[in-house]
Protein backbone atom coordinates (compact mmCIF):
# COMPACT_ATOMS: atom_id res chain seq x y z
CA UNK A 1 0.00 0.00 0.00
CA UNK A 2 2.75 2.44 0.97
CA UNK A 3 4.67 1.68 -2.25
CA UNK A 4 1.61 2.49 -4.38
CA UNK A 5 1.05 5.80 -2.55
CA UNK A 6 4.70 6.74 -3.01
CA UNK A 7 4.56 5.89 -6.73
CA UNK A 8 1.37 7.94 -7.14
CA UNK A 9 2.92 10.99 -5.44
CA UNK A 10 6.10 10.60 -7.52
CA UNK A 11 4.12 10.61 -10.77
CA UNK A 12 1.99 13.50 -9.54
CA UNK A 13 5.02 15.67 -8.72
CA UNK A 14 6.32 15.44 -12.29
CA UNK A 15 2.95 16.11 -13.92
CA UNK A 16 2.94 19.91 -13.75
CA UNK A 17 4.29 22.90 -11.82
CA UNK A 18 1.33 23.05 -9.42
CA UNK A 19 1.91 19.54 -8.04
CA UNK A 20 5.67 20.09 -8.10
CA UNK A 21 5.20 23.16 -5.90
CA UNK A 22 2.86 21.31 -3.51
CA UNK A 23 5.34 18.42 -3.12
CA UNK A 24 8.22 20.90 -2.75
CA UNK A 25 6.38 22.72 0.02
CA UNK A 26 6.22 19.47 2.00
CA UNK A 27 9.54 17.71 1.21
CA UNK A 28 11.81 20.49 -0.12
CA UNK A 29 10.89 23.68 1.76
CA UNK A 30 13.97 25.66 0.64
CA UNK A 31 13.26 24.89 -3.02
CA UNK A 32 9.68 25.98 -2.42
CA UNK A 33 10.78 29.27 -0.84
CA UNK A 34 13.28 29.96 -3.63
CA UNK A 35 10.46 29.79 -6.20
CA UNK A 36 12.22 27.67 -8.82
CA UNK A 37 9.99 26.67 -11.74
CA UNK A 38 10.61 23.87 -14.23
CA UNK A 39 9.67 23.94 -17.91
CA UNK A 40 9.97 21.09 -20.41
CA UNK A 41 9.76 22.41 -23.97
CA UNK A 42 10.19 19.02 -25.69
CA UNK A 43 12.07 15.75 -25.09
CA UNK A 44 15.48 17.38 -25.53
CA UNK A 45 14.86 20.91 -24.20
CA UNK A 46 14.42 21.55 -20.49
CA UNK A 47 15.07 24.58 -18.36
CA UNK A 48 14.46 25.83 -14.86
CA UNK A 49 13.93 29.45 -13.86
CA UNK A 50 15.05 30.80 -10.48
CA UNK A 51 13.35 34.17 -9.77
CA UNK A 52 15.27 37.14 -8.43
CA UNK A 53 13.57 37.44 -5.02
CA UNK A 54 14.70 38.78 -1.69
CA UNK A 55 15.00 35.20 -0.41
CA UNK A 56 17.58 34.43 -3.16
CA UNK A 57 19.66 37.62 -2.89
CA UNK A 58 22.77 38.37 -0.89
CA UNK A 59 23.98 41.58 0.80
CA UNK A 60 25.32 42.93 -2.48
CA UNK A 61 21.92 42.70 -4.19
CA UNK A 62 23.11 39.87 -6.44
CA UNK A 63 21.79 36.32 -6.60
CA UNK A 64 23.26 34.40 -3.67
CA UNK A 65 25.80 31.75 -4.60
CA UNK A 66 24.14 29.23 -2.30
CA UNK A 67 20.83 29.77 -4.10
CA UNK A 68 22.47 29.20 -7.50
CA UNK A 69 24.33 26.11 -6.31
CA UNK A 70 21.51 24.51 -4.32
CA UNK A 71 18.92 25.04 -7.03
CA UNK A 72 21.30 23.57 -9.63
CA UNK A 73 20.89 20.23 -7.83
CA UNK A 74 17.11 20.67 -7.69
CA UNK A 75 16.88 21.60 -11.39
CA UNK A 76 19.10 18.73 -12.51
CA UNK A 77 17.34 16.22 -10.27
CA UNK A 78 13.92 17.26 -11.54
CA UNK A 79 15.13 16.86 -15.12
CA UNK A 80 16.36 13.31 -14.46
CA UNK A 81 13.32 12.42 -12.33
CA UNK A 82 10.96 13.79 -14.98
CA UNK A 83 12.70 11.78 -17.70
CA UNK A 84 12.81 8.53 -15.68
CA UNK A 85 9.42 8.78 -13.99
CA UNK A 86 8.10 7.81 -10.60
CA UNK A 87 9.39 4.23 -10.75
CA UNK A 88 12.97 5.38 -10.13
CA UNK A 89 14.87 6.88 -7.20
CA UNK A 90 17.24 9.72 -8.16
CA UNK A 91 20.14 10.73 -5.90
CA UNK A 92 22.81 13.37 -6.62
CA UNK A 93 26.29 11.84 -6.26
CA UNK A 94 28.44 14.73 -7.41
CA UNK A 95 27.80 18.39 -8.16
CA UNK A 96 30.38 20.82 -9.51
CA UNK A 97 29.54 24.48 -9.99
CA UNK A 98 31.80 27.11 -11.48
CA UNK A 99 30.88 30.72 -10.70
CA UNK A 100 31.68 32.98 -13.64
CA UNK A 101 30.12 36.37 -12.71
CA UNK A 102 27.49 37.84 -10.40
CA UNK A 103 23.85 37.37 -11.33
CA UNK A 104 21.67 40.50 -11.03
CA UNK A 105 18.40 39.06 -12.32
CA UNK A 106 16.46 35.79 -12.65
CA UNK A 107 18.69 32.79 -13.35
CA UNK A 108 17.85 30.23 -16.03
CA UNK A 109 19.31 26.71 -15.93
CA UNK A 110 19.60 25.11 -19.38
CA UNK A 111 20.04 21.38 -18.95
CA UNK A 112 21.59 18.91 -21.39
CA UNK A 113 22.33 15.26 -20.55
CA UNK A 114 25.67 13.72 -21.52
CA UNK A 115 24.18 10.24 -22.01
CA UNK A 116 21.00 8.73 -23.39
CA UNK A 117 18.52 8.27 -20.55
CA UNK A 118 16.14 6.05 -22.52
CA UNK A 119 18.95 3.63 -23.48
CA UNK A 120 20.06 3.39 -19.84
CA UNK A 121 16.50 2.79 -18.65
CA UNK A 122 16.08 -0.02 -21.20
CA UNK A 123 18.60 -2.12 -19.21
CA UNK A 124 16.26 -1.88 -16.16
CA UNK A 125 19.17 -1.63 -13.75
CA UNK A 126 21.02 0.99 -11.77
CA UNK A 127 22.98 3.60 -13.70
CA UNK A 128 24.72 6.94 -13.33
CA UNK A 129 23.78 9.91 -15.49
CA UNK A 130 25.83 13.07 -15.89
CA UNK A 131 24.18 16.29 -16.97
CA UNK A 132 25.59 19.70 -17.84
CA UNK A 133 23.87 22.95 -16.96
CA UNK A 134 24.52 26.41 -18.30
CA UNK A 135 23.30 29.02 -15.84
CA UNK A 136 22.47 32.33 -17.54
CA UNK A 137 20.96 35.57 -16.32
CA UNK A 138 17.63 35.99 -18.02
CA UNK A 139 17.64 38.92 -20.44
CA UNK A 140 15.75 42.01 -19.32
CA UNK A 141 15.14 43.67 -22.70
CA UNK A 142 14.74 42.19 -26.17
CA UNK A 143 18.00 42.47 -28.07
CA UNK A 144 20.21 42.18 -24.97
CA UNK A 145 22.79 39.43 -24.88
CA UNK A 146 22.48 36.70 -22.24
CA UNK A 147 25.15 36.65 -19.56
CA UNK A 148 26.42 33.26 -18.47
CA UNK A 149 26.80 33.43 -14.69
CA UNK A 150 27.80 29.83 -14.03
CA UNK A 151 28.35 26.36 -15.33
CA UNK A 152 27.40 23.18 -13.47
CA UNK A 153 27.92 19.48 -13.94
CA UNK A 154 26.02 16.94 -11.86
CA UNK A 155 26.13 13.16 -11.67
CA UNK A 156 22.97 11.41 -10.53
CA UNK A 157 22.59 7.78 -9.47
CA UNK A 158 19.32 6.33 -10.72
CA UNK A 159 17.87 3.14 -9.22
CA UNK A 160 14.61 1.40 -10.07
CA UNK A 161 12.39 1.23 -6.99
CA UNK A 162 11.66 -2.42 -7.76
CA UNK A 163 15.41 -3.13 -7.59
CA UNK A 164 15.60 -1.50 -4.15
CA UNK A 165 12.59 -3.47 -2.94
CA UNK A 166 14.14 -6.77 -4.11
CA UNK A 167 17.45 -5.98 -2.36
CA UNK A 168 15.61 -5.08 0.88
CA UNK A 169 13.59 -8.33 0.80
CA UNK A 170 16.79 -10.38 0.27
CA UNK A 171 18.49 -8.60 3.15
CA UNK A 172 15.52 -9.22 5.46
CA UNK A 173 15.39 -12.89 4.43
CA UNK A 174 19.09 -13.33 5.18
CA UNK A 175 18.73 -11.62 8.56
CA UNK A 176 16.16 -14.14 9.77
Which CATH number characterizes residue 108's domain?
3.10.129.10
pLDDT of residue 133: 93
pLDDT at residue 43 greater than cutoff 70: no
- Quick check: 92 and 71 in contact, CB under 8 A? no
Contacts 24+ apart (CB under 8 A), 36-45: 36/71, 36/74, 36/75, 38/75, 38/78, 38/79, 38/82, 40/82
Question: Across-strand partners of 134?
Answer: 110, 151
pLDDT, mean over the chain: 84
Q: Is 19 part of a structural domain of the chain?
A: no
pLDDT of residue 150: 94
Q: Is 162 part of a structural domain of the chain?
A: yes
- Report the distance separating Cα 27 and Cα 24, nearest Å: 5
The strand order across the sheet containing 88-99 reads 37-40, 46-50, 107-113, 127-137, 147-160, 88-99
The domain of 70 spans 36-175
Per-residue pLDDT of 92-125, as tens digits, reads: 999 999 999 998 888 999 998 888 888 888 888 8
> Which string of b and e fits 58-68 if b means at least 16 CB within 10 Å?
eeeebbbeebb
Q: How far apart are the first and last CA of the chain?
A: 24
**CA 175 centroid distance within chain:** 36
Q: Is 90 part of a structural domain of the chain?
A: yes
Band of pLDDT at residue 152, cut at 50, 70 and 90: very high
Look at the chain and report how many structural domains it folds into: 1
Q: Is 24 part of a structural domain of the chain?
A: no
Q: Is 17 part of a structural domain of the chain?
A: no
pLDDT of residue 24: 77
pLDDT of residue 27: 79
pLDDT-above-70 percentage for the chain:
95
The neighbour count for residue 176, using CB atoms within 10 Å, is 4
Amino acid sequence: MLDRVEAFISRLSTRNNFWHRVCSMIWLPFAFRSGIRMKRIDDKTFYALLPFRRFNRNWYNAMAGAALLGNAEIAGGMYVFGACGGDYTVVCKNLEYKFLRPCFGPAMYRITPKGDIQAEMAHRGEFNLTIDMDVVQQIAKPGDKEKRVGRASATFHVTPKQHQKTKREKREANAT
